[in-house]
Each structure stands twice: as structure tokens, then as C-alpha cells.
Amino acid sequence: MSSGEFSNAIIIGYDGERWASSDEMTAMAMSERKELAGLWKDKAGSRKKGFSVLGKKYACKTIDDDLLVGAGSEGLVVGYKSDEAITLGVVTKGQPQGLATIQIVGLGEYFKQNGY
């Protein structure tokens, strides 16, 4: 997975297992992946607690039925929950955040349309 809009990206199942990722995201701990997969179970708690990606903390700015947006000191995290997977992109400061969000949502919608 690679795109000029993302510094890193990963696709995980709800069990936290990695389906695909950029090279650096292979280092994302299973505990972080499971935490990420569980964010939608308690949206209010997730907004208060935030989450981590590669050891960096992000405030949970938006979480609805599908979309997750987190903000941190180094940039933005955009996630999208489909039927069986979560697609996540890390956008560093200076990268086009709007286009990154469109791409993550588009990939998530593609997964939904194809039963994933």
C-alpha cells in the first residue's frame, strides 16, 4: 500500500490481524491494532481516550458508524470501517488531508460493496 497522500497505511481485520500495510506499519503492535479495531464499540469512550498508532498518541476527533479521524502533533489519522476490515491512513503535516480522507473512504466503500 502506498500513496503520496499517506506516510503510512494499514488494513486490519476486526481481530487486529494485519491484511496489508506499508512497510513501516508492519511494526504496529497487535495491542494497538486490537485497540483500533475496538474503537467503534465505545464511541464516547474512544473520543475521551484517543488511540495510538506506532506509539504516537492521537485524539479521537470524529468517530461515527464508519469514519474515524484522529489528530496528533505530527498529523492526522483517517480510518474507515467496512464489513470485515478497517482501513487506516496516517497523514503527516503538510500532506493533503482532504484527498487522503477521500481515498480511505473510497477504499472502505469498495470493501463494503465486495463483502469485506
pLDDT of residue 97: 80
pLDDT of residue 3: 54
Q: Which residue has the cell 506499519?
A: 25
Task: Report the alpha-carbon distance of residue 109 to residue 49 in Å, rounded.
Answer: 27
pTM of the full predicted structure? 0.89
**Complete edge-to-edge strand list for the sheet that includes strand 8-13:** 18-21, 8-13, 85-92, 75-81, 67-72, 56-63, 51-53
pLDDT of residue 6: 79
pLDDT mean for each 10 residues of the chain (116 residues): 72 95 94 94 93 95 95 93 95 83 92 93
Assigned C-alpha cell, 28:
504496529
Assigned C-alpha cell, 11:
488494513
pLDDT of residue 63: 96
